[in-house]
Structure 1
Amino acid sequence: MTTRTSRDAGLTPAALQQQLLANGDAPRLLDVRTPGEFRTSHIPGAHNVPLSTLREHVAELRTHLDGGVVLVCRSGTRAARAEETLAEAGLADLRVLDGGMLAWEAAGAPVERGEARWDLERQVRLVAGSVVLVTGVAGLFLPGVHLIGTTIGAGLTFAALSNTCAMGMLLSKLPYNRGPRTDVRTVIASLRGRS
């Protein structure tokens, strides 16, 4: 089975706004960011189904996603992974919001806001930069400690080349980022309510 790439199935913020404002069948919005990110800001009417939860419950969710689905994350990367997962489960009519919430907010589109939090990318930069700085300084006094910073640099290079981030995945599991756990039954009841 060939899956579409997010580039083929993308949807611009302007096009999505137009669909949401039109009378008729608006697409379902699945925001695959962490609950903490979702609580900070999200598109009105979006359902929060973090990527890990979506993967765990894909068969269960699939039966309630019968129409057009737009997948949303911070920049589009996690939404593209969610698209692949749902396409492999047999869903069609999947779209990824081009540029994610960054593009949505830059377009001046409506956003529901909650408590402000640092997004994962900023947290990764803080942790990686701090480790490199501390081990670089410590390396002046303790030979070999600077190699820890070199390892972090290698990990960031791999993250860029593979479009994955182990540090981001680890940070997303912290209580600060998790927020309240997404209850799949509540999401499914909400999806059923739209039918």
Structure 2
Amino acid sequence: MTTPTRTPARLDVAALRELTKDGSGPRLLDVRTPGEFHTVHIPGAYNVPLDTLREHRAELRHHLDEDTVLICRSGARAAQAEQALADAGLPNLRVLDGGMVAWEATGGPVTRGSARWELERQVRLIAGSIVLVSGLIGLAVPGVGLVATAVGAGLTFAAVTNTCAMGMLLAKLPYNRGARTDIGSVIAALRSRP
């Protein structure tokens, strides 16, 4: 028996900008990879990648409250983080609707680091390259085109389930990992904030 997926509470960009304009406001938990976070993030956000959050959700639960907004690139990983924290006993968190894409599109303040390709762009490059190469080789070698079919099936599954196995694998590469998140430092910072 599967548990029905809840729809997390959303907070739009305008509302978050209003809440944070005086420097106070909700805690901001960015669940993207360290590499994505260091490329660009909302000032004052704490980086707790989704896999780290899942592993340490019981510890985090004690230092978060309902005044917490979860952030990712577009909202999908933040919704998964909200579900993981809700399963650990912390309900009523909010997800930034549209994520960093929406935040940047509206000119929200950001802290920028060195540029890196976002995971979605990397997935498009890898998937597209596999399809292109297998299609070209398939002209000479029968059956190789089935590789492109498998990639297409994987992308379709990713869209339907709102998950991406290729993205999860790419997130583990050193390029995307960036500096490792020290969960102890994040918890200490959360604990010290009123």
Q: Which TM-score applies when normalising by structure 1?
A: 0.94
Q: Percent of counterpart pairs with the same letter?
A: 69
Return the offset for 1:193.
1.6
Q: Report if aligned partners of 1:3, 1:88 keep a CA contact under 8 Å in 2.
A: no
C-alpha distance in 1 between matches for 2:63 and 2:120:
31
Q: How many residues align?
A: 192
Shift in CA distance, 145/3, structure 1 to aligned 2, threshold 3 Å: closer
Gaps of 5+ in 1: none
Return the offset for 1:156.
0.4
SS at match of 1:147: helix
Return the offset for 1:22.
4.2
C-alpha distance in 1 between matches for 2:68 and 2:4:
18
C-alpha distance in 1 between matches for 2:47 and 2:115:
17
C-alpha distance in 2 between matches for 1:39 and 1:22:
23
Q: Report if aligned partners of 1:3, 1:87 keep a CA contact under 8 Å in 2.
A: no
Aligned to 1:134: 133
Q: Report if aligned partners of 1:12, 1:97 keep a CA contact under 8 Å in 2.
A: yes
Q: Which TM-score applies when normalising by structure 2?
A: 0.95
C-alpha distance in 2 between matches for 1:13 and 1:53:
25
Aligned to 1:86: 85
Aligned to 1:38: 37
Return the offset for 1:141.
1.1
Return the offset for 1:89.
1.2
Return the offset for 1:129.
0.3
Aligned to 1:193: 192
SS at match of 1:191: helix
Runs of 4+ residues over 3 Å off in structure 1: 1-4
Aligned to 1:5: 7
Q: Report if aligned partners of 1:30, 1:69 keep a CA contact under 8 Å in 2.
A: yes
Gaps of 5+ in 2: none
Aligned to 2:21: 21
C-alpha distance in 1 between matches for 2:163 and 2:4:
22
> Root-mean-square deviation (CA), in Å?
1.5
Return the offset for 1:2.
8.5
SS at match of 1:74: coil
Deviations 1:92-132 (A, max 9, x none): 33100000000000110100000001000000000000000
